[in-house]
Chain A
Amino acid sequence: MTAALLETRSVSKSFGALRAARDVSFKLEEGARHALIGPNGAGKTTFINLLTGVLPPSSGEVLLKGEDITTMEQAARVKRGIARTFQINRLFRGLSVLENVYMSVAERVGAAPQMITPAGKRKDVIDESMHLLETLKLADHAHLTITGLPYGRQRLVELAIALGLKPVVLLLDEPAAGVPSAETHIILDAIDALPKSIGVLIIDHDMDLVFRFAKKITVLVRGAVFAEGTPKEIGANADVRAVYLGQATHG
């Protein structure tokens, strides 16, 4: 059996008495389109933070292609190909779209520590950034500062920065959150067009989006894996429906 692309083995995380992740064993396969869903407070964001190295787990292991990365820092994990986007935009708001993407590409190709060569002379970085923006249909907006960009496009820049890292694993935290419905298709198309080789994990509430993309769904409830299966199985799972319907009737 070959090692999964990204794997956790009974990972737990406690904040005092709160157990935000309990014995989560999870596998993301190469080229996967995997979704992680669950009601509010299920520990989805904590789980992402454990995968990216923002938080160290209280117990358990995280593996990338079979290599133990449990204690590895965030920057080192990024170098190995784990990239993420944020639920709330985390952009360089005062800079242009191109300069935003330049930031991550420069980091990946190792241009960022250079102190003498002007940033503008790293044509390779600019070139790659522009091509990335072209593939995301953002090239027309490349010169605009983030603050002057509609929210839907800002979400796209969020994605572009992550793709600039040429990830092997891409974690998308509610990629379409807050986007007006007229613009959602921009994000959906972009996710559709992601390179097939990237293993993608989408964390979302939006069931339309999840069922459209995911080949596999993991349901997280109160920090633990509640159910896992194909969209069909999850859709037909009475317990999962109960969790969500229960949420709906209460909320």
Chain B
Amino acid sequence: MSAPTVFDHPAARALSRRHRLRWWEPLPWILALAFYFMFPRYLGFGTELLIMVLFAISLDLALGYAGIVTLGHAAFFGAGAYTVGMLAHHGIWNEPISSLFIGAAVAAAIGLASGLVLLRTTGLTLLMLTLCTMALLEEAANLGHDWTGGFDGLTGISIPPLFGLFEFNPLFPKTQYLYVLGALLICFVFVRTLVYSPFGHSLTGIRENTLRMHAVGAPVRTRLVVCYTISAALAGIAGGIWAQANAYVNLSTLGLDRAATVLIILVLGGYGRLYGAFVGAVAYMALSHFLAKVYPTAWQLGLGFLLVTIALFARGGIIGLGETLMARLRPKLKPKPPS
């Protein structure tokens, strides 16, 4: 019998247990729930935060895992937001959960169509093309005044109560907060499952060495397009929730500002790490809040310095820094190879 000896090996054990839940993984969710009870007056802020976390997770799948360099991810956020917003505003459909599915489908369709073209390219070309896709959508939303409200956007989107029971109230966003938290949990479990699957492993392979993935016979472009489409759908859900929670949609959902912000959040927290989105969003929101108080005119300067520092000295972001520190503090835990 050789099988048991194989799985006694630390490498095999590590790989076969990689997907198991670690003790600290429920923490973010406990904190998010605690926030709900402890800061009822800040639930608007909390809702915005959780939406950004979801958006950042969608970006992490494409950028952090598959290595798709994009600067236009807000295209899908906006697509979801406008889909949900327009359907409700024009009285076509406004049931919240099914609206999100429609928003996700539209964003996915745009992701698929653009991905089929864009993902033939890499690096700077890819970066510029993702930016262009977003700019085109933004301009379309700007020009399609009758449908999208143009520059003013759409206001007064009325969303019926969730499950016919819980009222969406922009002034007292209890429902929104728990609604986003639920959606985030579902999407997160989905992404977590995906990145620990063989498919997710192969995405990591594409990020680490595209040429080699071709050489082991992987259909690299198909995998990238699938990943990009899923990522777009998740971003669409984040956008859809944003529209529902705020009861309006405007061009800011499609803008470079939002695309850059989500990228900063991910870099700050640490990309390709699942929880980087959480840490990054909290750090970014808290930091910009604090800096804006201290330096109302130049708060972005502080953020800029921090980003430069992270990019130069801590490529893994805050989580990466933590990992490095843990590795230093801990005595060398070298797994012993079986002799």
Contacts and interface: CB of A to CB of B under 8 A. Distances in A.
Contact of A112 (B11, B199, B337): B199
A74 B220 CA distance: 11
A83 B217 CA distance: 9
B294 interface: no
Interface in A66-103: 74-79, 83-84, 86, 90-99, 102-103
B239 to A, nearest CB: 23
Contacts of B329: none
A120 B17 contact: yes
B333 to A, nearest CB: 11
B145 to A, nearest CB: 41
Interface in B10-32: 10-12, 14-19
Nearest to A143: B11
A78 B6 contact: no
Contacts of B204: 92, 94-95
Contact of A107 (B202, B337, B338): B202
Contacts of A78: 215-217
Given A115-B199, A121-B16, A92 B217 contact: no
Contacts of B219: 75
Contacts of A102: 15, 201
A92 B14 CA distance: 17
B42 interface: no
Contacts of A95: 204-205, 208
Nearest to B208: A92
Which label, helix, strand, loop or mixed, suits the secondary structure of the B interface?
A: helix
Contacts of B15: 96, 98-99, 102, 119-120, 126
B122 interface: no
B198 A142 contact: no
Nearest to B205: A103
Contact of A93 (B10, B19, B209): B209
B11 A103 contact: no
B85 interface: no
Nearest to A94: B208
Which label, helix, strand, loop or mixed, suits the secondary structure of the A interface?
A: helix
A108 B205 CA distance: 15
Contact of B337 (A116, A125, A140): A140
B201 to A, nearest CB: 5
For chain B, the bracket of interface size reads 35 or more
Nearest to A141: B337
A116 to B, nearest CB: 6
A95 B202 CA distance: 12
A106 B16 contact: no
A251 interface: no
B11 A106 contact: no
B255 interface: no
Given A97-B11, A130-B9, A165 B216 contact: yes
A125 B196 CA distance: 14
Given A78-B215, A106-B201, A119-B196, A96 B209 contact: no
Q: From B3, B193, B214, name the one whose CB has the most chain A CB atoms within 10 angstroms.
A: B214
Given A106-B202, A107-B218, A111-B198, A131 B19 contact: no
Given A93-B209, A120-B18, A139 B216 contact: no
Nearest to A103: B205
Contacts of A54: 214
A139 B11 CA distance: 9
Contact of B216 (A103, A123, A131): A103
A122 interface: yes
27 contacts: A75-B219, A78-B215, A90-B215, A93-B208, A94-B204, A95-B204, A96-B15, A102-B201, A103-B202, A103-B205, A103-B216, A104-B216, A107-B202, A111-B198, A112-B199, A112-B218, A118-B19, A118-B193, A119-B15, A120-B16, A120-B17, A123-B7, A126-B12, A126-B16, A130-B9, A143-B335, A165-B217
